[in-house]
Amino acid sequence: MRLLVPKFIVPTTALGVLSLLAVVIALASVTGAHAQSSSAYTVQGQAIVDGRLLPDGTRVIIYVGGTERGPFAETKIQSGIFRFSMIP
């Protein structure tokens, strides 16, 4: 008995394998979502009120969006300059 294989099965199978291979390659090239790396940052500047530098020892607090930021969100003026160094 002779097994009959329709002629369109071979090209369809080849196309299916190529499609599957293309999908696997596309998925392999997609990188996963990564969280932002935490890195230290520094904020600094002059503290001026009414055209004068604030005196040494004046307390400065960082607020972002109405919320005090971080455990080190407070510093004091030194020589008219404030500086915050934070590690999130």
Give the pLDDT confidence score for residue 86 in this predicted structure: 67
pTM of the predicted protein model = 0.39
Give the pLDDT confidence score for residue 22 in this predicted structure: 63
User: What is d(CA 13, CA 42) in angstroms, rounded to the nearest whole number?
Assistant: 60
Are 47 and 62 in contact by the 8 Å Cβ rule? The answer is: no
Give the pLDDT confidence score for residue 68 in this predicted structure: 72
Q: 18: which DSSP letter?
A: H
Give the pLDDT confidence score for residue 31 in this predicted structure: 57
For the chain of 88 residues, list the mean pLDDT of each consecutive stretch of 10.
Answer: 53 54 60 60 80 83 73 74 71
**Proportion of the chain in helix, strand, coil states, percent, rounded to 5:** 25, 30, 45
Are 60 and 74 in contact by the 8 Å Cβ rule? The answer is: yes
Q: Which residues are CB-neighbours of 75 under 8 A, at least 6 positions away?
A: 59, 60, 82, 83, 84
